[in-house]
A and B are shown apart, each in its own frame.
Chain A
Amino acid sequence: MHPAFSVIFLTILIGAGQGLFLALYLSELLASSGGLNMPDGRLYVAGGVLSVALLAAGLAASFFHLGHPERAWRTATCWRTSWLSREVIALPAAMACTAAWTIAHAVGWDLSILGIDSMRPLDLSLVIGAAGIVVTFALFLCTGMIYACIKFVAEWATPLTVLNFTLLGSASGFTLATALSSWLEGEAMTTILGAWAMALTFTGALTRFASLLRNDRLKPRSSLQSAIGIRHSKIVQRAQGATAGSFNTREFFHHAAPRIYRSMRLVFMVLTFVAPLALLIPGVMLSSTALFAAACVLQLAGLVAERWYFFAQANHPQNLYYQYVS
């Protein structure tokens, strides 16, 4: 498939935004249960604003993928059948929950504004955040299922696709949260978030590697024989019905040099997983904001390569009809 940068940035930016919110809410849960000192709120407000900004940037990137962005409102109508439509609903919902959670922290409201006195700090943001967690995971599911539900693209049609979108998005968000926490908060919080970032990055490396192994062993279900219905072992295309390119040759091939395509796998494995882990471990030991920031930047850059490869590796059965221009 053709890797479109609009979709690459959409999935990376919203993934990081979702992961950042998960990290912030987890730290809030730990703090409110007494496991950590309560942060002074700057981390939550700054992190919440950054998370909403990432989600909004992803949404903005998605508009560049559309031929008619002015009709984008229509995409919310077919949520009964279309995962893309469901994502279009889940993304603003996640933005709304994250924004409400951030505002609750910024203003310092608790449930007493509704007349409920739970005697616990942060109770309102915990309730809003719980809804945010549900929507955030729903958004991961929608984003992954957009690809996993296309049974024709064997490289995508696996639960690993959903798992990878969730784990890689979470990993990048937790790395970002670690860097933020190191800048704005104390060492205890940073160490916990850093440990989570490492665990998620490591697990993500395992599941992404599993999907690479799986995809290397795929046998295509369709062949030129089933595509044109002629039972002969030797069929060669001589003309595809166009003297040059067409939408079918542009949209379903990556058009990169074989050398670049092959090297992209190593590039993304190093940048997304190895380099961040190599920076996070000394970062936690030295509690160095610079190392966390570097890990964050490298991981996001690695995800660009990872997403590019995710699209480029997908081989669509329609390519059987478009092998030879004469």
Chain B
Amino acid sequence: MTQLALVIDLNVCVGCHACVTSCKEWNTSGVAGYLSDDNPYDADPTGTFFNRVQTFEVGEFPDTETVHFPKSCLHCEDPPCVPVCPTGASYKRPEDGIVLVDYDKCIGCKYCSWACPYGARELDEHQKVMKKCTLCVDRIYDESIPAAERRPACVNACPTSARLFGDIHDPESEVSRAIREQGGYPLMPEWGTRPANHYLPRRRTNITVHEDELVRADNPLKKERDDEHEPVRGHTLDDVTTW
């Protein structure tokens, strides 16, 4: 069985929102109709998005790190939003595990959004149906698109390759390997929803530098030996550069 999913590398994401805008661009132009936008250039703008990048500050000043956190539907393997739907509009595709909403059956009762702990579902204020990430289901199987681009729009747009896309049930896929080798984790595992999307954690990058690597003991000119020269006090390179 296939379970398509996104794996998002929080170590690489720079919070540029390219995934947000490319998602909005692709999905507002699709056959399912536009994604609402109200007052986009005015006070109190609001609209429907499948994907949002949030920003968190971790630690206490001055030792803080900024974590950019893209969030979209996680396509849970046990999606709590599906069984509560009274009309069957919300469903999980058996063939690839994508959780979708049938916009022609949805009555806009918002009950599924209550049953999602991640806040992944948003009611479109104009079409009055529930909307959420489709993993670009209208793109990834489209054979008129070059094979290399048959990926969700957000994955194609990411300039740092922080977003991986693939089948997490295939142990040899790029996403499975990333989850396995880089400690990929799901969100809110305490609820047992088994999200398909995983996140790769921040990684500490350390280089061990030994003293003899900084100072070449065999340097015949001994120019790198600080103790033999007075430190130069004066203009820095930036100060004297005139171009």
Instruction: Give Cα A69 to B87, complex, Å.
Output: 12
For B165, what are the chain A residues with a Cβ–Cβ distance below 8 Å?
none
For A150, what are the chain B residues with a Cβ–Cβ distance below 8 Å?
84, 114-115
Q: How large is the interface on A (under 10, 10 to 19, 20 to 34, 35 or more residues)?
A: 35 or more
The answer to whether A252 touches B85, judged by C-beta atoms less than 8 angstroms apart, is no
The answer to whether B54 touches A240, judged by C-beta atoms less than 8 angstroms apart, is yes
Tell whether B67 is near chain A: CB-to-CB under 8 Å.
yes
Question: Which residues of chain B in 75-130 are interfacial with respect to chain A, using CB atoms and an 8 Å cutoff?
Answer: 80, 82-89, 105-111, 113-119, 122-123, 125, 127-129
Contact with B along A310-323 (1 / 0, CB 8 A): 00000011110110
What's the least CB distance linking A212 to chain B, in Å? 21
Q: How large is the interface on B (under 10, 10 to 19, 20 to 34, 35 or more residues)?
A: 35 or more
For B128, what are the chain A residues with a Cβ–Cβ distance below 8 Å?
67-68
> A67's contact among B47, B60, B107, B118, by CB below 8 Å, is which?
B107
Interface with B: A105-113, A201-209, A230-238, A278-286, which one?
A230-238
The answer to whether A227 touches B187, judged by C-beta atoms less than 8 angstroms apart, is yes
Tell whether A65 is near chain B: CB-to-CB under 8 Å.
yes
For B186, what are the chain A residues with a Cβ–Cβ distance below 8 Å?
229
Interface with B: A24-32, A71-79, A124-132, A289-297, which one?
A71-79
Highest count of chain A CB atoms <10 Å: which of B44, B107, B199, B201:
B107
| Shortest Cβ distance from B63 into A: residue | A234
Highest count of chain A CB atoms <10 Å: which of B106, B109, B118:
B109
For B190, what are the chain A residues with a Cβ–Cβ distance below 8 Å?
221-222, 226
The answer to whether A238 touches B57, judged by C-beta atoms less than 8 angstroms apart, is yes
What's the least CB distance linking B87 to chain A, in Å? 4
What's the least CB distance linking A7 to chain B, in Å? 10
> B58's contact among A230, A242, A248, by CB below 8 Å, is which?
A230
The answer to whether A245 touches B44, judged by C-beta atoms less than 8 angstroms apart, is yes
What's the least CB distance linking B122 to chain A, in Å? 4
> B52's contact among A65, A83, A241, A245, by CB below 8 Å, is which?
A241
Contact residues of B: prevailing secondary structure: loop
> B86's contact among A1, A84, A149, A240, by CB below 8 Å, is which?
A84
The answer to whether B56 touches A74, judged by C-beta atoms less than 8 angstroms apart, is no
A244-B46 contact given A67-B107, A238-B55, A316-B114, CB 8 Å threshold: yes
What's the least CB distance linking A2 to chain B, in Å? 9
Instruction: Give Cα A109 to B5, complex, Å.
Output: 64
A232-B59 contact given A65-B109, A66-B109, A77-B88, CB 8 Å threshold: yes
Tell whether A228 is near chain B: CB-to-CB under 8 Å.
yes
The answer to whether B45 touches A244, judged by C-beta atoms less than 8 angstroms apart, is yes
Highest count of chain A CB atoms <10 Å: which of B111, B116, B202:
B111
What's the least CB distance linking A43 to chain B, in Å? 36
For A183, what are the chain B residues with a Cβ–Cβ distance below 8 Å?
none
A238-B56 contact given A81-B84, A321-B119, CB 8 Å threshold: yes
Tell whether A196 is near chain B: CB-to-CB under 8 Å.
no
Question: Which residues of chain B in 208-222 are interfacial with respect to chain A, using CB atoms and an 8 Å cutoff?
Answer: none
23 contacts between A and B (CB under 8 A): A66-B109, A67-B108, A67-B128, A74-B89, A75-B107, A76-B86, A149-B84, A150-B84, A152-B116, A152-B117, A228-B67, A237-B57, A238-B55, A241-B52, A241-B53, A242-B45, A242-B49, A242-B52, A243-B45, A244-B43, A251-B110, A252-B119, A321-B71
Across chains A and B, which 7 residue pairs bring their CB atoms closest together, nearest first? Answer: A67-B108, A67-B128, A241-B52, A318-B119, A81-B83, A85-B86, A74-B87
